[in-house]
Amino acid sequence: MPALPLDEAGKYVAGAYIVFLVLIVIYVAIMAAKLQRIEKELRELARFAESRATSDQAAPGRGSGTPSISDSLASHGSRGGGA
């Protein structure tokens, strides 16, 4: 079977490896969407828990003034602790 000239064959080989790369990137994108959803739900739950804590104990909670992402930058001392 004759070998295709390098520039012709190169296109196919490149195509195959690019397909592989694209599939990986698509997968990452889908996982990113999932991660986004998890983050949204956790944010909702945190807000729910905070509001419940403030209404239950009448103790001043932190409120939603400070963005919770700064919690993740601190060491594991945020409300609820790590799993």
d(CA 71, CA 9) in angstroms, rounded, equals: 53
Residue closer to other proteins by CB (options 51, 62) is 51
- For residue 48, give the nearest of 27, 28, 66, 64 by alpha carbon: 64
Q: From the CB of 2, what's the least distance to other proteins, in Å? A: 8
From first CA to last CA, the distance across the chain in angstroms is 59
Using the 8-state DSSP alphabet, how is residue 35 labeled? H
Which segment (2-10, 61-69, 70-78) binds other proteins by CB under 8 A? Answer: 2-10
Which segment (35-43, 56-64, 65-73) binds other proteins by CB under 8 A? Answer: 35-43
How many chain residues bind other proteins (CB under 8 A)?
27
